[in-house]
């Protein structure tokens, strides 16, 4: 067999790492064996070996996952763990990045969870095509969690800081233990019927047993049928439940879920200020263009003024009379001169009538460009803080506004606002 390419060690390790870590099968595996060579680092990370009678695997469990262990593990324990298979490129070694661990033989919790996850995934409940898009500017947010908990307080604080204009309604429920699944489902169904723009489903961190309610099949299937977009914030970033797979967006923590669900009000206001500035620039440009056209039409009107035309024609007539009087030498020329004078007067009158009509038309066009004309018909310009008001959304109750009418200015205070439902 011929070898077409010779790899460096680094290149080959990189190929192995990429191939291994991009294979979905290795993203989440459940494996059991004996815990040995356990080292607990000062940083809080655990390094150990998982072995059976013939093989062994190197494992690491970072402090964020160690904090949620519900048992004091020791060497020699038979354990079951959930992990992601990774490859340490510099050392050329394979290791398991462990997210959960429990004693083996207490119901094979992880194996059951993984089997259910694969079943629901096969049915398409986790498909990205089912995910709903979160609203950009939510006006109503439902929060489903344990009232009074740290998670609840963190969510409310984050929403108030980031997006205080949203109406937030909380739905209290148990988040672990007997009866918690039913309460969570009831709260979800109730909130889904209340026409919120989005929902946040959350609870604080804990062991896998504490979070087990969020792995319940009935809850997962219910979430897949709801019409309202849902953001989850269950446990810590290292915790993953089946709810996280079925919701539309998964937040790493309750606070992270609130962050993903809302924009930052300061950024939105800054964006609106930029739009307002751009709109004012457009309006100013249009007004300047209209003023230029108005001045041009006014100059044209002045140039075509009937008075100026008559004065110029009178001058021509008087000049012609003088020339005619000087040229008349015979009496018989007087009759011809009279005919010419009548013809000239008829021609002049026709010319004046024609241009008078054109001037009237130009006057009407000029009046249509006069921005004061709508004000004389009862309309008014509305301003607030020296900025024009162009939408009902720019107004708020008790807001002071300024009115510009054709013969003066006035001030008023907004009492009520009613938005027009027509497109």
- In whole angstroms, what is the distance from residue 210 CA to residue 203 CA? 10
Span of 150-159, 179-188, 374-383 with lowest mean pLDDT? 374-383
- In whole angstroms, what is the distance from residue 270 CA to residue 282 CA? 19
What value does the mean pLDDT take over residues 210-225?
93
| Residue 367 pLDDT > 80 | no
Nearest to 96 by CA among 53, 54, 50, 64: 50
Query: Dihedral (C-alpha) 11, 15, 18, 23: value to the nearest 10 degrees?
Result: -170
Chain segment 260-305, per-residue pLDDT in tens:
999 988 777 777 778 878 888 888 888 888 888 888 877 777 776 6
What's residue 242's pLDDT? Answer: 94
DSSP letter for each residue of 213-231: GGG-HHHHHHHTT-SS-EE
What's residue 3's pLDDT? Answer: 58
Nearest to 293 by CA among 396, 362, 211, 220: 362
pTM above 0.75, yes or no: no
- In whole angstroms, what is the distance from residue 302 CA to residue 363 CA? 10
What's residue 237's pLDDT? Answer: 79
Query: CA distances (Å), 54 to each of 29, 80, 86, 135, 258, in order?
Result: 20, 17, 21, 54, 48
SS3 labels along 184-209: HHHHHHHHHCCCCCEEEEEECCCCCC
Q: What are phi and psi of 368, to 5 degrees?
A: -65, -25
In CATH terms, the fold of domain 131-263 is: Rossmann fold (3.40.50)
What's residue 393's pLDDT? Answer: 80
- In whole angstroms, what is the distance from residue 98 CA to residue 81 CA? 7
Query: CA distances (Å), 210 to each of 175, 177, 249, in order?
Result: 8, 8, 22
Residue 369, token pair as written in the block: 């460009």
- In whole angstroms, what is the distance from residue 401 CA to residue 410 CA? 9
Residue 261, token pair as written in the block: 């669900």
Hey, CA dihedral for 92, 97, 103, 108, is it positive or negative?
negative
* Cβ neighbours, 10 Å, residue 44: 13
pLDDT interval class at 200 (50, 70, 90): very high
Chain segment 75-124, per-residue pLDDT in tens:
888 888 889 898 888 888 899 999 988 888 654 567 678 889 899 999 99
Burial class (CB in 10 A: 0-12, 13-18, 19+), 200: buried
What's residue 305's pLDDT? Answer: 67
CATH of domain 9-106: 2.40.50.140
Query: CA distances (Å), 253 to each of 138, 239, 257, in order?
Result: 20, 9, 6
What's residue 174's pLDDT? Answer: 94
Q: Where in the chain are the domains?
A: 9-106, 131-263, 267-370, 372-423
The average confidence (pLDDT) of the chain is: 84
């Amino acid at each position: 067999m011929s070898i077409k390419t010779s790899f460096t060690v680094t290149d080959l390790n990189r190929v192995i790492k990429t191939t291994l870590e991009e294979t979905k099968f290795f993203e989440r595996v459940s494996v059991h064996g004996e815990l040995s060579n356990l080292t607990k680092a000062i940083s809080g990370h655990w390094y150990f070996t998982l072995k059976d009678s013939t093989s062994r695997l190197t494992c690491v469990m970072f402090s964020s996952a160690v904090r949620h262990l519900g048992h004091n593990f020791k060497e020699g324990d038979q354990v079951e763990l959930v992990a992601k298979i990774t490859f340490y490129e510099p050392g050329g070694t394979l290791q398991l990045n462990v997210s959960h661990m429990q004693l083996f033989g207490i119901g094979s919790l992880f194996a059951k969870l993984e089997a259910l996850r694969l079943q629901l995934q096969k049915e398409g409940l986790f498909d990205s095509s089912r995910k709903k898009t979160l609203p950009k500017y939510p006006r109503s947010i439902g929060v489903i969690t344990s009232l009074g908990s740290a998670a609840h307080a963190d969510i409310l604080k984050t929403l108030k800081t980031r997006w205080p204009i949203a109406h937030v309604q909380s739905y209290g429920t148990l988040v672990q233990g007997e009866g918690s699944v039913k309460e969570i489902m009831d709260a979800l169904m109730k909130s889904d019927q209340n026409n919120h723009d989005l929902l946040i489903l959350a609870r604080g961190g804990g062991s896998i047993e504490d979070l087990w309610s969020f792995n319940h099949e009935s809850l997962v299937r219910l979430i897949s049928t709801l019409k309202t977009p849902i953001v989850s914030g269950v446990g810590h970033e290292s915790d993953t439940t089946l709810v996280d797979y079925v919701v539309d967006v998964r937040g790493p923590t309750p606070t992270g879920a609130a962050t993903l669900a809302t924009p930052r009000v300061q950024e939105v206001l800054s964006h609106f200020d930029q739009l307002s500035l751009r709109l004012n620039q457009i309006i100013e440009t249009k007004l300047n263009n209209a003023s230029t056209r108005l001045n041009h039409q006014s100059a044209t009107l002045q140039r075509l003024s009937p008075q100026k035309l008559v004065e110029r024609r009178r001058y021509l007539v008087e000049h012609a009379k003088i020339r005619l009087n000087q040229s008349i030498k015979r009496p018989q020329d007087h009759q011809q001169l009279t005919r010419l004078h009548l013809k000239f007067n008829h021609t002049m009158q026709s010319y004046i009538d024609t241009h008078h009509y054109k001037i009237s038309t130009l006057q009407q066009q000029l009046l249509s460009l006069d921005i004061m004309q709508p004000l004389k018909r009862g309309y008014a310009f509305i301003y607030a803080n020296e900025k024009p008001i162009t939408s009902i959304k720019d107004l708020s109750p008790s807001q002071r506004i300024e009115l510009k009418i054709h013969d003066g200015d006035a001030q008023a205070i907004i009492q009520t606002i009613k938005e027009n439902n027509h497109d």
